[in-house]
Structure 1
Amino acid sequence: MSPSRTLTASRVGVYHVPVLLPEIEALLAGASTVLDCTLGGGGHSAAFLERGMRVTGVDRDPRALAAARERLTDFERSGQFRALLGNYADVSGAGLAYAERFDGILLDLGVSSHQFDDLTRGFTFREGAPLDMRMGTDADQDAAELLNSIDEVDLSALLRAYADEPRAARLAREIIRRRERRPFATADDLVDAIRAVLGPRSGAPDFARIFQAVRIAVNDELDGLERALPALRDRLTPGGVLAIIAYHSGEDRLVKNAFREWSTACVCPPKQMVCTCRGAPLGETLTKRPINAGEAEVEANSRARSARLRAWRRAR
């Protein structure tokens, strides 16, 4: 059985359902080489490989990488696909050659379905789940260690910046008070602290928002994205496309602002009389507004609801 025939039957994988797949395929349709910076279970990469593209997949999660390699084993054997363990914030550290460039680069910033559903990974607020949330072994500490060691001022700032929580200071104080009595260990500990501050009517949307904020801090996601953006831009061939799916307002804001700045001819200070910057845009933004999942996709995969896709093309 050919690799393409094998994958056509499993475009929606058991490890992770790829989000906005048709839209991503359309944006990267002209690519011959693709860098999938968040390989996950290989759903997006499978589609690229079916189209005859050569794909390099990077993921910081060894288990995700193993699942993708098993799914795409025929392509790996043929040399059309390779998988590298590493963080998209430092793709050179994952083993990419300094001069290596790609026609298309994809960054899907979401947590995979498998990571959410695997209770032992600690991404969920389901009862009894450990407070872990590490995307890979490169994280400095897990969620429990973070919540048990961070000071009140920094915790309040984290909750305000990453969760848009108006009662961030109160929630930080409550977490500090509770951990002095007993260290945080499971999702129940954080859920109980949230309920104590937000009230008994607080529910899944509140838990999801605050758990996401802790996950972002554990994995250094926003700082990592800010470092990665210019590095990935410079990995594009002339005319290459960078497509990014964000799920958090802070992520989307970083992507939007970067694409806008790269698409601007002059970035000199407004009052400067003579242009001394690059004097020409580095490329063009392909998405005036973010692309969102349609009703049918959201109904089939509720985690696509918050997905926002933006794309940018490097100048030729």
Structure 2
Amino acid sequence: MSTHSSKTSLQTPHIPVLLPEVMESFSSLDEGVLIDCTLGYAGHSSALLEAHPKLKLIGIDRDPEALEFSAQRLAPYRDRVRLEHGSFSERLPSLIDQEPVVGILADFGVSSLQLDKKERGFSFASENLDMRMNPEAPLRAYDVVNGYPLERLEYLFREYGEIRPAGALAAAIVKARANAPISSAQELAELAKTVLRGKGKTHPATQMFQAIRIEVNDELGEIERLLDTLEAKRPAGAIVSLITFHSLEDRLVKNRFRAWSQKCICPPEAIRCTCGGNHALGEMLSRKPRSASKEELRSNPRSRSAKLRSFRFYEGADR
């Protein structure tokens, strides 16, 4: 999740979230292919290419604007870089089959440019209601807010936003849109204030916007499919580093990494192990997630919820 003010600020892009921690997780890499599943503005990727001269990169992103920026930023490494437009859930399976993959990185946060550009509809101050990471995707936040029935909205707010008064919030939206469609993020954020309260400096609409954005971009589904692909393909020796930004994402990654690390898969009630105890697919590189340093939190407050978890698949001989 890197920050810059415009496409022309190639010289001074913001340092991406958890960069030292990401670099450390991939420090053992030498040559092979690293797949950046959420290329964004190539902050992590450019640093990794600089640090590992033999490494090749495949960058994937749903946002054409991000790819256009990254093509310029990664120009010094163009002989080692390939960029692909699309969702990583669609691209990853064939790439793992075709390439000597040694690393997989994903940063599931919304980029700061997407947040800051009001026309993208991610910001509380936006005059439209969009939130699509891929501008060509059919479903917009406007369609969710103005078209979903009350029960579906309540489900989204409860499950994706972890909002307690989910029913009251859904009802307020349905009541408001009965008079006229809710057409801007700004209007929606003001409506949220009538039902929700923020915590500390957090805007009251934060969790509601999160829920809608997750639905629009199928974010949890994308993560599930990424993890399913990795479990099925098990790229030998590959290091997987995933950055999450809220508990729903982190829970998916944490639970899957733990399951992959289990040597014994016997049921809990079993008196002794009968499965052979050799079922681990690899190992977690740290038991607890890495989070932002105090220095990073001061320079980039948006990093406060970021967590990095890393896993290494075993080589065949490691098992």
TM-score tier (shorter): 0.7 to 0.9
Task: State the aligned residue count.
Answer: 302
Rate the CA distance shift 1:17–1:112 in 2: closer, same or farther, 3 A: farther
What does the per-residue CA deviation read over 1:89-116, in whole Å, with 9 as the maximum and x for residues that have no partner?
22248x7363324111101000111111
- How many Å separate the matches in 1 of 2:255 and 2:62? 26
- How many Å separate the matches in 2 of 1:129 and 1:109? 25
99-108 or 20-29, larger mean C-alpha shift: 99-108
Rate the CA distance shift 1:74–1:36 in 2: closer, same or farther, 3 A: same
Q: Which residue of 1 is the match for residue 304 of structure 2?
A: 305
TM-score computed with the length of structure 2 as normaliser: 0.87
Give percent identity, aligned residues only: 38
- How many Å separate the matches in 1 of 2:176 and 2:188? 9
Kept in 2, the 8 Å contact 1:286–1:312? The answer is yes
Rate the CA distance shift 1:235–1:23 in 2: closer, same or farther, 3 A: farther
- How many Å separate the matches in 2 of 1:34 and 1:200? 39
SS at match of 1:58: strand
Q: Which residue of 1 is the match for residue 120 of structure 2?
A: 121
- How many Å separate the matches in 1 of 2:198 and 2:25? 45
* 1:184 is the counterpart of 2:186: no
Q: Which residues of 2 match residues 81-92 of structure 1 at below 5 A?
A: 81-92=81-92
- How many Å separate the matches in 1 of 2:217 and 2:112? 17
What does the per-residue CA deviation read over 1:233-287, in whole Å, with 9 as the maximum and x for residues that have no partner?
5556422210000001000000000000000013343346874698420001112
2:306 partner amino acid: A
1:117 partner amino acid: D
What does the per-residue CA deviation read over 1:5-30, in whole Å, with 9 as the maximum and x for residues that have no partner?
xxxxx99853x541111111111012
2:119 partner amino acid: T
- How many Å separate the matches in 1 of 2:234 and 2:44? 18
What does the per-residue CA deviation read over 1:94-148, in whole Å, with 9 as the maximum and x for residues that have no partner?
x73633241111010001111111111111101x431111011453311011111
Q: Which residue of 2 is the match for residue 249 of structure 1?
A: 247
1:119 partner amino acid: K
Structure 2 residue corresponding to 1:228, chosen from 209, 226, 229:
226
271-280 or 255-264, larger mean C-alpha shift: 271-280
- How many Å separate the matches in 1 of 2:297 and 2:197? 29
Kept in 2, the 8 Å contact 1:37–1:88? The answer is yes
Q: Which residue of 1 is the match for residue 4 of structure 2?
A: none
- How many Å separate the matches in 1 of 2:69 and 2:225? 27
- How many Å separate the matches in 1 of 2:199 and 2:132? 29
Kept in 2, the 8 Å contact 1:35–1:55? The answer is yes
2:77 partner amino acid: F
1:247 partner amino acid: F
Structure 1 spans left out of the alignment, 5+ residues: 1-9
- How many Å separate the matches in 1 of 2:214 and 2:11? 26
* 1:59 is the counterpart of 2:58: no
* 1:283 is the counterpart of 2:282: yes
SS at match of 1:35: strand
- How many Å separate the matches in 1 of 2:76 and 2:260? 38
Q: Which residue of 1 is the match for residue 37 of structure 2?
A: 37
TM-score computed with the length of structure 1 as normaliser: 0.88
Q: Which residues of 2 match residues 63-102 of structure 1 at below 5 A?
A: 63-76=65-78, 79-92=79-92, 96=95, 98-102=97-101
Q: Which residue of 2 is the match for residue 146 of structure 1?
A: 144
Structure 1 residue corresponding to 2:169, chosen from 160, 168, 171:
171
SS at match of 1:238: coil
Rate the CA distance shift 1:199–1:19 in 2: closer, same or farther, 3 A: closer
- How many Å separate the matches in 2 of 1:48 and 1:200? 37
Q: CA deviation at 1:190?
A: 1.1
Structure 2 spans left out of the alignment, 5+ residues: 1-8
Q: CA deviation at 1:88?
A: 1.6
Kept in 1, the 8 Å contact 2:96–2:233? The answer is no
- How many Å separate the matches in 2 of 1:199 and 1:294? 28
1:45 partner amino acid: S
- How many Å separate the matches in 1 of 2:89 and 2:235? 19
- How many Å separate the matches in 2 of 1:163 and 1:190? 15
- How many Å separate the matches in 1 of 2:199 and 2:291? 29
Rate the CA distance shift 1:176–1:202 in 2: closer, same or farther, 3 A: farther
Question: What RMSD, in angstroms, separates the aligned Cα atoms of the two structures?
Answer: 2.5
1:49 partner amino acid: L
